[in-house]
Amino acid sequence: TAPARDRLRIAIQKSGRLADPARSLLAACGLSWRQSRDKLFCFGESLPVDLLLVRDDDIPGLIADGVCDLGVVGLNELDEQAKARRQLGLADAYRPLRGLGFGACRLMIAVPEDWDWQGVQMLQGKRIATSYPAILSAWLQEQGVDAQVVELSGSVEIAPKLGTAEVICDLVSSGATLAANQLKPVEVLLESEAVLAGPAHALDDARAGLMAMLLRRLDGLSKVQD
Ligand code: PRT
Ligand code: ZN
């Protein structure tokens, strides 16, 4: 078991879509840090709550390893890594605690604009490019469709043009990226937003009280906004 700690550590995205909203939300909860925006670690001043600035992909793993106690991450990323763990037969290591109301997007199947979409059976035997192979393969299995999952780490939307896949499965917010690539969204696999993620099992030292207080403050904020 990990040694007892008396400071809470929260991982957020260093830069990217979730970085500023995550910081603002935590600041609205009364947290403040010593100036070190370009550093990896921000020491908490108002409360013993420190920040770790990382890539979003690393956040679920940091919670799983107990390096961080909480993280602000897209549900898409959290769910992908949770499903990948499950597919490997590993125990659940983290769970979403609260939806945070920003970073909304959908993980969707998109097909060439000129396809006459008749339903998921049209995916049978096709190659589908995605950065979310675990969510996609679980969904295909659920749908009873046999298709090939082509894993790409980025620029998924150009795969059909390059001929590496006929179809893609990617995040969509405005839909402009799909349209620019002559693709259209046809099926939703996941409704996503930024979530506060925590460990699957409760902490049992001073951090438990800090975590409960932070959740109370977060819940208080959403009441004010409603
Ligand atoms: O460097 P790091 O690894 O931390 O960042 P990243 O590049 O992996 O992540 P980032 O900052 O792009 O996204 C972080 C999180 O924001 C994602 O995991 C989602 O939870 C959330 N989010 C919300 C989105 C979008 N909306 C979104 N639109 N993430 C990506 N996109 C992509 C989308 O795939 C498309 O290619 O943005 C493009 C534009 O979307 P349209 O539909 O508006 O054209
Ligand atoms: Zn990333």
86 and 145 share one domain: no
Task: Collapse the DSSP code of 185 into the 3-class scheme (helix H, G, I; strand E, B; otherwise coil) and give the result.
Answer: strand
85-132 per-position pLDDT tens digit: 999 999 999 999 999 999 999 999 999 999 999 999 999 999 999 999
CATH of the domain at 141: 3.40.190.10
Domain residue limits at 155: 105-192
Residues 188, 163: one domain?
yes
Does the CB atom of residue 171 touch ligand 1 within 6 A? yes
Ligand 1 centre and the CA of 17: distance in Å? Answer: 7
Q: Are 16 and 99 members of one domain?
A: yes
pLDDT of 5 above 90 = no
Compute the Cα dihedral for 90, 106, 22, 42 and give only its sign: positive
How many beta carbons lie within 10 A of that of residue 218, not counting itself?
Answer: 17
What is the structure's pLDDT at 2? 63
| pLDDT tens-digit series, residues 33-90 | 987 666 899 999 999 999 999 999 999 999 999 999 999 999 999 999 999 999 999 9
- Determine whether the shortest distance from the Cβ of 185 to ligand 1 is under 6 A: no
Look at residue 39 in the predicted model and tell me its pLDDT: 80
**In the structure encoding, which two tokens stand for residue 132, read together?**
């979310």
The answer on 56 and 168 residing in a single domain is no
Compute, in angstroms, the gap from residue 21 CA to the centroid of ligand 1. Answer: 14
In a shared domain, residues 55 and 111: no
Q: Is the CB of 18 under 6 A from ligand 1?
A: yes
139 with 185, same domain: the answer is yes
**Has residue 17 been placed in a domain?**
yes
Same domain as 160, residue 89: no
Which residue among 14, 72, 172 is best mutated to probe the pocket of ligand 1, counting the most ligand atoms within 8 A of its Cβ?
A: 172
ipTM above 0.95, yes or no: yes
Tell me the pLDDT tens digit for each residue of 150-169.
999 999 999 999 999 999 99
Ligand 1: atom nearest CA of 14 is: 4
Could you give the number of structural domains in the chain?
2
For the CA of 192, the nearest atom of ligand 1: 20
Contacts of 165 (CB under 8 A, 6+ apart): 126, 127, 128, 129, 150, 159
**Ligand 2 center–CA 111 separation, angstroms:** 24
23 and 76 part of one domain? yes
Q: Give the three-state DSSP class for 108.
A: strand
Cα–Cα distance for residue pair 116/126, rounded to 1 Å: 15
